[in-house]
């Protein structure tokens, strides 16, 4: 067999081909454009790359146009090698610790030559699944950015504008709500907020889309803004107000981006064949289900069993043993995005599924902390998800959480 290694960079990529004996057959530097990609395909074809016997390719990334070109023909085996693993392999070929791009390409090719069964090729996800992955991850990033900027804005308001925090504390999502942002734009300082009239507050709430309990909220906000608070000196307060408006512009942009991306996910995700199965699970709405699909993919051969999926998500424990010492703990190396979804999924399932709620309470009674009990529930839900996807079945509450059979002669209350 022949093996290919590619050391990618921003402008050029180094390519190396080796045979079974480790002999270097060819090396070339290609540019990061259509011409360079075609040179790479021609080089692979020249050395026997066919649909029946594709040359495996190792590269340190799973994204970008180069990877897309390699996967476009749907016949190439592309391996995304972790850069840390590649660095460890580099030490096997020399003790001088020298590093070069052509040498790294040779190291990647030799990784496949010696240890290809130890590495997984990139999953053969469909284009629809990959498109959903792009949107779901972007929406997740936008949500995280929105929360980060909201925290910065809250920290700033604590320095000079506590009335705003008190006014918006009763609202879910607080500073991220359009009503809160509209009022902050109208009154960036507590002095200006104290001068707001009922009509101005009501108009700002209406522009933000609020229609229920308008009079009650207007009176409450007016009373809060006119209450007694400590103040910064007026020039400092005005300067802090300008800083707050700059942060508010960023928050407006991230809120709009998160909403637009969420709408795009809601349009595209239901088109996927696995969407019906995912949405049948308790606690999974469109956004969370799309994030699960984005990380798991729709290549049903990717995970040989449920244990592989649980380990990938960080839900399964890991055993670290050395000598007489043995420790079972949570995994640190995992898919962080899927692991984050898991806690949200498990938390939502507590009220959406009687069986999930009973399982969580049983783990708490067993001695688990809240996070450990949620992780255990997420672990069980992942096993059920793997079964349902493999067998094309919808979630069934009675099958997933069967009731305990009562002893004979006992009548249920």
Confidence band for 404, pLDDT divided at 50, 70 and 90: very low
Cross-strand pairs, 16: 5, 27
Coil vs helix vs strand at 9:
coil
Cross-strand pairs, 326: 321
Residue 214 has pLDDT above 60, yes or no: yes
Mean pLDDT for the chain overall: 90
Question: Average pLDDT in the 233-245 region?
Answer: 95
Coil vs helix vs strand at 29:
strand
Question: Average pLDDT in the 19-23 region?
Answer: 90
Angle of helix 101-115 versus helix 83-90 axis, rounded to 10: 90
Residue 75 has pLDDT above 70, yes or no: no
Q: Residue 412: what pLDDT?
A: 40
Question: Average pLDDT in the 333-356 region?
Answer: 93
Angle of helix 178-186 versus helix 198-207 axis, rounded to 10: 140
Question: Average pLDDT in the 375-396 region?
Answer: 94
Q: Residue 197: what pLDDT?
A: 93
Residue 408 has pLDDT above 50, yes or no: no
Q: Residue 413: what pLDDT?
A: 36
Q: Residue 380: what pLDDT?
A: 94
Question: Average pLDDT in the 210-214 region?
Answer: 87
Q: Residue 309: what pLDDT?
A: 93
Of 251 and 69, the structure prediction assigns the larger pLDDT to 251
Residue 394 has pLDDT above 50, yes or no: yes
Q: Give φ, ψ of 80 to 5 degrees.
A: -90, 105
| Residue in the structure block whose two tokens are 């909201």 | 150
Least confident of 68-82, 148-162, 164-178, 342-356: 68-82
Please list, in sequence order, all residues whose beta carbon lies within 8 angstroms of the beta carbon of residue 164, skipping any fewer than 6 positions away: 157, 180, 183, 184, 190, 193
Torsion of CA 389, 390, 394, 395, to 10 degrees: -80
CB of 286 within 8 A of CB of 265? yes
pLDDT per residue as tens digits for the range 156-170: 999 999 999 999 988
Q: Residue 198: what pLDDT?
A: 93
Q: Residue 96: what pLDDT?
A: 67
Coil vs helix vs strand at 409:
coil
Helices (H), strands (E): how many in the chain? Answer: 18, 7
Residue 15 has pLDDT above 60, yes or no: yes
Q: Residue 95: what pLDDT?
A: 66
Q: Residue 108: what pLDDT?
A: 92
Rounded to whole angstroms, the Cα distance separating 18 from 112 reads 10
Residue 100 has pLDDT above 90, yes or no: no
- The model carries a pTM of 0.86
Q: Residue 374: what pLDDT?
A: 94
Question: Average pLDDT in the 332-343 region?
Answer: 91
CB of 119 within 8 A of CB of 81? yes
């Amino acid at each position: 067999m022949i093996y290919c290694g590619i050391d990618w960079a921003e402008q050029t990529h180094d390519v190396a081909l080796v045979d079974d004996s480790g002999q270097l057959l060819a090396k070339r530097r290609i540019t990061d454009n259509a011409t360079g990609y075609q040179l790479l395909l021609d080089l692979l074809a020249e050395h026997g790359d066919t649909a029946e016997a594709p040359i495996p390719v190792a590269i340190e990334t799973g994204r970008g146009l180069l990877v897309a070109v390699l996967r476009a023909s749907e016949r190439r085996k592309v391996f995304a090698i972790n850069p840390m693993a590649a660095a460890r392999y580099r030490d096997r070929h020399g003790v001088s610790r020298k590093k070069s791009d052509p040498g790294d390409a040779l190291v990647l090719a030799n990784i496949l030559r010696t240890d290809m069964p130890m590495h997984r090729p990139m999953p053969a996800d469909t284009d629809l699944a990959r498109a959903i992955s792009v949107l779901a991850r972007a929406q997740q990033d936008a949500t995280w950015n929105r929360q980060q900027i909201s925290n910065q804005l809250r920290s700033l308001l604590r320095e000079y504008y506590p009335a705003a925090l008190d006014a918006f504390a009763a609202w879910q999502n607080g500073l991220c709500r359009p009503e809160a942002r509209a009022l902050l734009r109208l009154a960036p300082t507590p002095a200006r907020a104290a001068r707001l009239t009922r009509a101005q507050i009501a108009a700002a709430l209406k522009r933000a889309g609020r229609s229920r309990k308008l009079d009650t909220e207007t009176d409450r906000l007016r009373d809060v803004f006119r209450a007694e608070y400590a103040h910064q000196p007026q020039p400092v307060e005005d300067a802090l107000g300008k800083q707050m408006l700059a942060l508010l512009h960023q928050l407006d942009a991230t809120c709009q981006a998160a909403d637009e991306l969420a709408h795009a996910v809601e349009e595209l995700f239901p088109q996927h064949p696995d969407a019906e199965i995912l949405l049948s699970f308790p606690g999974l709405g469109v956004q969370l289900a799309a994030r699960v699909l984005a990380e798991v993919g729709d290549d049903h051969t990717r995970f040989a069993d449920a244990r592989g999926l649980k380990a990938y998500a960080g839900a399964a424990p890991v055993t670290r043993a050395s000598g007489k010492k043995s420790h079972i703990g949570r995994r640190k190396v995992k898919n962080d995005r899927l692991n984050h979804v898991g806690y949200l999924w498990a938390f939502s399932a507590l009220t959406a599924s009687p069986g999930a709620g009973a399982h969580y309470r049983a783990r708490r009674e067993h001695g688990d902390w809240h996070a450990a009990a949620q992780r255990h529930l997420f672990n069980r839900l992942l096993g059920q998800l793997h079964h349902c996807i493999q067998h094309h079945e919808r979630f069934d509450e009675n099958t997933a959480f069967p009731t305990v059979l009562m002893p004979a002669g006992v009548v249920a209350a």
